[in-house]
Amino acid sequence: MRSHILALTFLLGGSAVACAQWTIQDSHTTADLHSIDSTGNGIAWAGGSNGVILRTQNEGQSWETCAPPSTTGHDDFRAIQAIDAETAIVMSSGKGHLSKIYKTTDGCKTWKLTFENPDDMGSFANLRRISKSQFYLLGQPVDGKFAVFLSQDGGENWFAADDPGLESATGQLVSAESNSAMYSEAAALYFGTVGVGQPDVYFTYPKCDKTKPGSPCSVAWGKTEIPIAAGTPVSGVSSIAFRAQLNLGTGAVIIIGAVVGGNADKPEDASATAAYTADGKIWQPAKTMPGGYRSAVAYNRAAGLWIAVGPNGTDESNDDGKNWHALKPGPQDSPDADRNWTALSLPFVVGPHGRIGKLKSKP
């Protein structure tokens, strides 16, 4: 009886998502959008090239263009993290002073510059909200070490996190394409890398002094190699995501994760474009890969499915990243609804030339 219920649940879940697809929305911009952050209750913010920042308060029925944070008009906003309809933090990328952090608290009418890259040779790559007050900022390596900054007051002030274990290999970088190469889950922070060498996933862990029982532990970073495409400067991990699951038998929390990527210069190449972990530690290549290079992955908690997007398609996985299957447009969908996407924050997806979509609700 139990197996029949499980089978029925699988079939219903699979059929519901198979019918789902992206509904194209009007962004009123031609800027390339690289970041999207949905806070729920119909609110989402997006950032992109040419200094463009967008906001919706009605599930994407309409998108408004925000007042630009700076007067240059050339900022490349690769990351945006929102707290609510009035408050958001946006990150521009570029060498040295081109990498900046701005914050708004009045619905993007005005912006405050809160942080500028202190390293002339550095560049900001990813921004991650942990809570309303805590944010992490990840930058490209400077002097052989990934740059990590921390804010504990809602992005007002930033401090360098000089943690051990952030050393980088020669030519190793982090993808700044979709603001999803960094992720936090169960009190740990993770990020994946790209570059000519074998890609890694870095992760935090508590470093405790065993000679001083009861003393506070510090934060350190470890890393593990990921079985995903390598060999070029743009090969490796583009996006990483996790979900926590409680083991009802032992009471332990299991960390389940997926990474996607591949070779960004060869978006049609479907070899070594995804990997998964069933315990947060050991990574294995997907058994059935997505249909090409994928720039972003996210877990759809409502449907119990993973979704990955990229230039040539959208894929879904109902077995925690082991197998991926193409999600094709239906008869009522735009014929290109599955492709030309860059970043995810469900239910929204964004891409080049002002492209915005929203995941359709279950029928």
Q: How far apart are CA 319 and CA 42, in angstroms?
A: 29
**How many residues belong to the chain?**
363
Q: How far apart are CA 202 and CA 204, in angstroms?
A: 7
The amino acid at residue 326 is: A
Q: Give the pair of three-digit tokens for residue 135.
A: 């944010």
Q: Tens digits of per-residue pLDDT, 293-308?
A: 999 999 999 999 999 9
Please give the model's pTM, rounded to 2 decimal places: 0.91
Q: How confident is the model at residue 43 (pLDDT cuts 50, 70, 90)?
A: very high
Q: How far apart are CA 79 and CA 90, in angstroms?
A: 6
Q: Tens digits of per-residue pLDDT, 235-289?
A: 999 999 999 988 888 888 899 999 999 999 999 999 999 999 999 889 999 999 9
Q: How far apart are CA 239 and CA 258, in angstroms?
A: 8
Q: Quick one: average pLDDT of 45-55?
A: 97
- 3-state DSSP call for residue 19? helix
| CB burial of residue 317 (10 Å; 0-12, 13-18, 19+) | buried
Query: What does DSSP assign to residue 349?
Result: E
Q: What is the pLDDT of residue 362?
A: 57
**Mean of the per-residue pLDDT values of the chain:** 91
Q: Tens digits of per-residue pLDDT, 106-140?
A: 999 999 999 999 999 999 999 999 999 999 999 99
User: What are the φ and ψ backbone dihedral angles of 58, each rounded to 5 degrees?
Assistant: -135, 45
Q: How far apart are CA 94 and CA 80, in angstroms?
A: 15
Of 259, 183, 251, 198, the C-alpha closest to 229 is 198
Of 232, 96, 258, the C-alpha closest to 172 is 232
Report the topology of domain 22-359: Methylamine Dehydrogenase; Chain H (2.130.10)
The residue ranges of every structural domain in the chain are 22-359
Q: How far apart are CA 75 and CA 34, in angstroms?
A: 12
Share of the chain above pLDDT 90, in %: 82
